[in-house]
Structure 1
Amino acid sequence: MKNILIPTDFSSNAYHAIAYALNVFKCERTNFYFIHAYADEVYGPYHNVDKETFDKQKNSIADESEKKLNKLVIDTQTKTHNPLHKYEGISSFESLVDAINDFADSKNIDLIIMGTKGKTASSKITFGSNTVQVFKYVKCPVLAVPDQYDYSQPKKILFPSNYMLPYKRRELKLLDIMAGEFKAEVLSLYISDFEDLSLRQLDNKKFLEESLPNARLSFVRTGVHNRANAITEYIKENDIDLLVMVNSRHSFLEDLLYQSTIDKIGLSPTIPFLVMQNLPR
């Protein structure tokens, strides 16, 4: 039984992420939890009002959140009729990151699936601020789905790595399960002008092989230039269906996430992007 958490702000991008999630796990027994965190909707517009007005607005927004979640659950059940799936809505008076982390711990969530942008996101950016915050601070695997991406079964998965940081089996387990279920090829991309690896890199590369027994794993290399551009180009030139990266201390992805936006670096995949966390949970 899989436990999947899907944050929603009831935008079209959020509904698109739900549709993608239902397709990914259509043949598996899965609990889907739709979570709406509304603290920012309360504190943003109403932080300078008296307590009575604040409480009134808070209760109104909470009621509206519950109504929309109930409708979302009913609509999803009506449209899918999948006996393998169960749905539940969760309304939370917390920030998005806190709500997700608390719920992920309480329900032992396997994967978070969300849109790349929300209601107010500009068409010029790739990842909205909420998505970047979840990538950075949520201690659970996160799959972000672009709103223009139509579901197709992932057959080619790109996994960039410099083999410098040791992986953990728990973070690679999800990748191995997905690759096995979809009979997908995993392409481990090494961005370097040199083929030779250090002893540390060789050890980490071997561990990667041992940890992905169900994947059709291949090792590929491309020359050094802007790493984000190298990843984006490889995706386009090789018909990649899913990008997977690990967020860990001192990793390339951490460098990307701690810029003001990922877009400034140039990483703009038009395919689903799975971020696995090498962080304490």
Structure 2
Amino acid sequence: MKNILIPTDFSDNAWNALVYGISFYQKTHCNFHIVHVNAINTTASGEAAMYVSPEILETSILAESREQLKALSKKIEQLPLNVKHEFHFKAIYGFLTDQLKDFVKEKSIGLIIMGTKGASGLQSVAMGSNTGNVITKVPCTLLAVPEDATYDKVEEVGFPSDLNLSYDVRILDTIKDIILLKKSALRLLYVSSKGEELSANQLKIKNLFLDYYKEMECTFHEVTGKHIDESVQCFTESRNLDMLIMVAKNLNFLERILFRPTVEKISYHTKVPFLVIHE
């Protein structure tokens, strides 16, 4: 049974991510762990802003969160019944990424699903910093769902790569599992800044990809553009992709797609969900 963690702040955005995840895995046996983390605020120096006694924690902060989780549970019950899904709820207090790391380990979580703030066109907006922190600091595969995304189908999946790093078989199998689950086509994408030819090593990795996915529909695409994030978006829109997959191992490449140098928060401006795979 697949163990999935869905952090929630009870916003519409978080609810949308939850519904997307339930729909995406509608034919899969899943344990959905819905968790609300009452995050500890920090000062500019990085120190905890305040200490909360165990008594106040239980009678006030966590008690309120549990009531909100009960209401969320009733809302989930209004969705179409799926006997393959079980739901578990928990309220936690602490530093967000630390608590999620511990929860992932404790419950053998295979996937985290979180909502993001999207934008239209090429306008860049800051994605929720919480999602950005979890992507970079919690070693667990994460599905980020933009606020306007609704689950319909996943016919085409894009996999942008700079073809500089080879990937572990487990990562390749994770991608294959998604493709087979949804009977999708895989579109490998390489963005060239000046239209230069692939190096011998890049050609080798490209051919390894194509060979590994030869039993399914898999095609290679190369586009030229100065800005990787804009090129990836243009490709996503022109192909009408339903999802993007990226690998956290190549953090530099991932950041060039998701981060802008002038903004500390993640920038993401397409309406398709993206899956970030950790080793």
8 Å contact from structure 2 (residues 115, 147) kept in 1: yes
Q: How does 1:63-102 map to 2 (within 5 A)?
A: 63-102=63-102
Q: Which residue of 2 aligns with 1:268?
A: 269
The Cα shift of 1:196 comes to 3.5
Q: Which moved more, 1:234-243 or 1:72-81?
A: 72-81
8 Å contact from structure 1 (residues 135, 257) kept in 2: no
8 Å contact from structure 2 (residues 124, 269) kept in 1: no
CA 48–163 in structure 1, closer or farther in 2 if over 3 Å, else same: closer
The Cα shift of 1:3 comes to 1.1
Q: TM-score, normalised by structure 1?
A: 0.85
Query: What is the rounded CA distance, in whole Å, between the counterparts of 1:101 and 1:159 in structure 2?
Result: 26
The runs of 4+ residues in structure 1 deviating greater than 3 Å are: 41-44, 46-49, 193-196, 209-215, 254-259
Q: Which amino acid aligns with 2:266?
A: I
Computed over aligned residues only, the root mean square deviation of the Cα atoms, in angstroms, reads: 2.8
Q: Which residue of 1 aligns with 2:62?
A: 62
Deviations 1:213-236 (A, max 9, x none): 664211001013211110111111
Q: Which residue of 2 aligns with 1:11?
A: 11
The Cα shift of 1:144 comes to 0.8
Q: Which residue of 1 aligns with 2:22?
A: 22
The Cα shift of 1:124 comes to 7.3
Query: What is the rounded CA distance, in whole Å, between the counterparts of 1:135 and 1:56 in structure 2?
Result: 31
Q: Which residue of 2 aligns with 1:148?
A: 148
The Cα shift of 1:71 comes to 2.7
Q: Which residue of 1 aligns with 2:241?
A: 240
Query: What is the rounded CA distance, in whole Å, between the counterparts of 1:76 and 1:157 in structure 2?
Result: 28
Query: What is the rounded CA distance, in whole Å, between the counterparts of 1:167 and 1:206 in structure 2?
Result: 13
Structure with the largest fraction of helix: 1
- Counterpart secondary structure, 1:6: strand
CA 110–48 in structure 1, closer or farther in 2 if over 3 Å, else same: closer
Query: What is the rounded CA distance, in whole Å, between the counterparts of 1:42 and 1:80 in structure 2?
Result: 41
Q: Which residue of 2 aligns with 1:199?
A: 200
Provide structure 2 residue ranges, at least 5 long, that are not aligned to the other structure: none
Q: Which residue of 2 aligns with 1:160?
A: 160
Query: What is the rounded CA distance, in whole Å, between the counterparts of 2:65 and 2:150 in structure 1?
Result: 28
Q: Which moved more, 1:189-198 or 1:61-70?
A: 189-198
Q: Which amino acid aligns with 1:216?
A: E
CA 208–59 in structure 1, closer or farther in 2 if over 3 Å, else same: farther
Q: Which residue of 2 aligns with 1:133?
A: 133
Q: Which amino acid aligns with 2:207?
A: K
Deviations 1:160-203 (A, max 9, x none): 11110111122232221111121111111111244743232233
The Cα shift of 1:90 comes to 1.7
